[in-house]
Amino acid sequence: MRITAVVALFADLPEAELTGWVARGWVRPDRGEAGLDFHEIDVARIRLIHDLHRTMDIGEETMPVILSLLDQIYDLRGTLRDLLLVLETQPDDVRTTVLAALRRG
């Protein structure tokens, strides 16, 4: 998706502002010969940044910290999902031992 199509999704997001977000590394679209190419995941991140900035009034100086923390949470969720999938393949006694250890803290 080209930048003009992305900007059209938001009534109050000028192209220059979105370009600034890309320059700061907040959004990382593919760069091709035809320009920036935004994917669905990029649009979701733009929507998040837009909401944080417009609705929650998160400033530009704070945004990198917020985005970094959200990225860490997202990565952690993926790791936990992978761990659960591996745990499901283990024999009952292994799962029981792991769950008991988790309950003990």
Summarised one tens digit per residue, pLDDT across range 40-77 is 999 999 999 999 999 999 999 999 999 999 999 999 99
The whole-number pLDDT of residue 82 equals 96
Percent of the chain, pLDDT > 90? 95
Instruction: Round to whole Å and give the CA distance between 92 and 2.
Output: 51
Structural domain spans, the chain = 1-60, 61-105
- Mean pLDDT value across the chain: 95
CA-CA-CA-CA dihedral for 49, 14, 9, 28, to nearest 10: -50
